Amino acid sequence: MSLRKGKRYAYGIHVPDMKDLSKNYPIEEMPAPKTVYIALSQHIGAPATPIVNVGDHVKKGQLIGEANGVVSANIFSSVSGTVKEISEFVNGLGQKLKYVVIENDGKNEEVLLPKLPDLEPKTIIERIRLAGIVGLGGAGFPTAVKLTPKNPLDALIINGAECEPYLTCDQRLMVERTEDIYKGIKYTAAALNLSRIIIGIEANKPDAIEAFTKYEDLEVVILKKQYPMGSEKHLIYSTTGRKVPVGKMPFDVGVCVQNIKTMIAVYEAVELNKPLNHAIMTVSGNGISHPKNLKVALGTPFTDVIAFCGGERENVVKIVAGGPMMGRALVNLNQFVRKTDSGIILLTGKETNTQKPTNCINCSKCAQNCPMRLMPMYIEFYYLSGDYENAEKYGAMNCIECGSCAFNCPARRPLVQNIQNAKMKIKEARSNGKQ
Amino acid sequence: MENSNGILVYSSSPHKKAPHTTKWIMLNVLAALIPTSIMGIVFFGLNAFLLIIISLASSVAAEFIYYLIAGKPFREIAKDFDYSSCVTGLLVALTLGTNYPLYAPVFGSAFAVIVVKLLFGGTGKNFVNPAIVGRIFIFISFQSVVGSWLAPSIASVTGGTLSTGATTLVNILEYNTLPSLSVWDLLLGTGLSGCIGETCKLAILLGAIYLAILKIIDIRYPLIMVGTCGLLAVALKGFDFAYFLPSILTGGLILGAFFMATDYATTPNTKVGNYVYFALLGLLCAGLRQATNMETVSFAILLMNLFVPLIDKFILNRPFGHFKKKKERESK
């Protein structure tokens, strides 16, 4: 066992974590709903190709969408039943995606993946690819691609920071399924041929830290409670002292970062031969009657999840998919659980902020809080004046969209939104330049 | 399923925000100036009270009249009012002596709010500190009364002679005489003539500590300014450290450093930029004071305000994981 304290990085902010709402509720398995709507694009990269037809009978765990290329992921059914529809519609996040709609027959017939012949690195990586595992921290980058790095690595870092306020599902997992996570970590380390394993956990989760100290071969790092500690680059700095250079990836400094939930998925795929067909999420916020940590079948409508948690209390003004700092607000409730969903947060008028933006007063709090040490006010200023070159010069492309700037902005300026737009414009300009 | 309102608010992340708004900041700055204002009224009586009230009222009136002429409905002006005009008005009043005519702050505050702030785009768009300009406007327009400060109603607590006619600062600068008042008198402002808000340094520091606790200002910056100002003053007197405290505790340095130089809109945007800005400001204060034999803090701040865009152009934050120096070395 090795226990040490993580480094504090300069800047960053302190956000009230609000985890008390749900952190004491064990993870419950929500019964599968009558109908599931499984999106064929739940990851970064090309959408999967549907391989079932309307009217087909599918079993739980059956492949319904096949990965389309290397950077893509398989999609599995989360219930047994009949395919009712394969259609494209606009979801609650405003994305137009293809969905496979399956009616649950309630029989719960399950198929498993074939048993693994051996535990060679190649076999494990192939299994992770087959099981459709993607980075479950939120981005949804196919894990198998991450496990075949271009540079030699010397450490595997497990992200147990969970710095987003409200979310507690990682914390619950670390306490309840420590052994499973440990096994998942060992399989991942075997796939990467690594012996140095670091797990970073924020100091506000003493129970999770306690749970992992019993393993001899893990380096447990107690991270300072600081937002955004779960950001890949900051986690690497806090645990190893290495700084990922601007525009480079974690493998450039010899590390691979994986999320807690991804490790559970790896364990289930390798040892239990189960594909990834559920999401583990927190339903919280002052707008929900009973905050809960849930294991939900993929494609479950958000309305069903909210109803399972006792429904809304009064004055819900905003529903967020993901954490409140980086998650996306829903336009309407026509949204269905994806692999990468880590929470549904129902915010009341008091919790969220709907004031309209006023003049920037140049207080430079955004620059003083930016964990990437950018200057958000300049990026915003140049974006709004249409000068995208200067927006790029002030670091728009390095932004990790953590929201530290907009969180503390006294003028309530939508800094993150403007920087996201600036990024889009810069990318457009780049692709136009190439042609 | 619909929520109770039937409408979901849609916006970009983050969906949680800190409770602080511009209004909250301005109200707290006003609160931090309350002790100074009270001490001013205690020292200088009814006239000080009237000057403060008139200045506040005229600055607020100036903003409302400007927007009404611009065609903004009254209700919206009231809704968008962020109290920054009140801060300007109060600061203008605090930099006046009680011998100024009561209509003086009307011109000063209106000029500060309309010309310096609103014409350039409102709160945060001013390129120099409005209160400083308001003060200088009055200072230049009413020169006949300048220099004849009235003494406060409370005499020295430690038995020093009352210094009237010229501020103690001018004595130090011009005649190289240390003030007859003790440091405690200088700190409390007892027996010291001067502006309404500049005499009681203890009250100003109290307000500054309040703002520092709320993290509205970073207390290090004004301390740097006061420090460099005091050190240069000492150096100019042949390194006689007896001059250190009297130099920084006389005149408007403390009020200027903690409440005027720290104005958000007219300070650099980076930590390093701020260190440079405040250090240079302190040096400029002491240098100008010695060169002109008069109180020049406001002019120094005005001058340095104009250099802020330059500092911001050259001193920038380096992004996390930026290794420019190494790369340059490698390429060599």
Q: What is the pLDDT of residues A12-60, one digit of tens each?
A: 788 888 888 888 899 999 999 999 999 998 888 889 999 999 999 999 9
User: What would the mean pLDDT of B264-284 be, rounded to a whole number?
Assistant: 93
Task: Find the CB nearest A324 among B4, B14, B122.
Answer: B14
Contact criterion met (CB below 8 Å) for B32 and B262: no
d(CA A319, CA B9): 8
User: What would the mean pLDDT of A271-284 be, rounded to a whole number?
Assistant: 92
- CATH fit for domain A1-29+132-354, picks 3.40.50.11540, 3.40.50.300, 3.30.470.20, 3.50.50.60: 3.40.50.11540
d(CA B219, CA B222): 6
**B264 to chain A: which residues are within 8 Å by CB?**
361-364
Task: Find the CB nearest A329 among B2, B15, B322.
Answer: B15
The percentage of chain A sitting over the pLDDT mark of 90, rounded to a whole number, equals 46
Angle at CA of residue A111, ends A106 and A113, nearest 5°: 150
d(CA B203, CA B226): 16
The percentage of chain A sitting over the pLDDT mark of 70, rounded to a whole number, equals 99
Label residues A117-127 b or e (16+ Cβ within 10 Å = b). Answer: eeeeeeebbeb
Report the range of poorest mean pLDDT among A177-186, A347-356, A393-402: A347-356
Q: Return the pLDDT at B143.
A: 74
**B25 to chain A: which residues are within 8 Å by CB?**
361, 363, 410
Q: Is the pLDDT of residue B62 over 90?
A: yes
Would you place residue B164 in the very low, low, confident or very high pLDDT band (cuts 50, 70, 90)? very low
Q: Residues near B313 by Cβ (< 8 Å), separated by ≥ 6?
A: none
**Could you tell me which residues are beta bridge partners of residue B101?**
none
Question: How many Cα neighbours within 13 Å face the side chain of A82?
Answer: 4
Report the range of poorest mean pLDDT among A302-306, B30-34, B39-43, B177-181: B177-181
Q: Is the pLDDT of residue A79 over 80?
A: yes
Q: Return the pLDDT at B145.
A: 66
Label residues A181-190 b or e (16+ Cβ within 10 Å = b). Answer: bbbbbbbbbb
Q: Return the pLDDT at B151.
A: 60
Query: Any CB–CB contact under 8 A between B22 and chain A?
Result: yes
Q: Residues near B321 by Cβ (< 8 Å), separated by ≥ 6?
A: A233, A243, A244, A245, A246, A248
Angle at CA of residue A266, ends A68 and A215, nearest 5°: 155
d(CA B332, CA B325): 11
- Chain B residues 302-331 with CB within 8 Å of chain A: 316-323
Q: Return the pLDDT at B175.
A: 67
Q: Is the pLDDT of residue B3 over 50?
A: no
The two three-digit tokens of residue B161, written as one number:
């002679």
Q: Is the pLDDT of residue B5 over 60?
A: no
d(CA A30, CA A27): 9
Interface contact flag, B16 A325, Cβ < 8 Å: yes
Interface contact flag, A363 B9, Cβ < 8 Å: no
Task: Find the CB nearest B15 among A314, A327, A412.
Answer: A327
Q: Is A74 exposed, middle or buried (0-12, 13-18, 19+ CB in 10 A)?
A: buried
- Nearest CA among B267, B253, B190, B184 for reference residue B223: B253
- Nearest CA among A202, A198, A196 for reference residue A258: A198
Task: Find the CB nearest A359 among B15, B125, B267.
Answer: B125
Q: Residues near A409 by Cβ (< 8 Å), separated by ≥ 6?
A: A365, A366, A415, B17
User: What would the mean pLDDT of B216-230 be, rounded to a whole number?
Assistant: 93
The boundaries of every CATH 3.40.50.11540 domain in chain A are 1-29+132-354
Taking the C-alpha atoms of A417, A421, A422 and A423 in order, what is their torsion angle to the nearest 10 degrees? Answer: 100
Average pLDDT, chain A: 89
Q: Return the pLDDT at A139.
A: 80
d(CA A306, CA A308): 5
Amino acid identity of residue A220, one-letter, is V
- Measured in angstroms, the CA of A211 and the nearest CA of chain B are apart by 31
Place of tokens 């915010």: A347
Interface contact flag, B320 A243, Cβ < 8 Å: yes
Would you place residue B329 in the very low, low, confident or very high pLDDT band (cuts 50, 70, 90)? very low
Q: Return the pLDDT at B180.
A: 67
d(CA A374, CA B270): 10
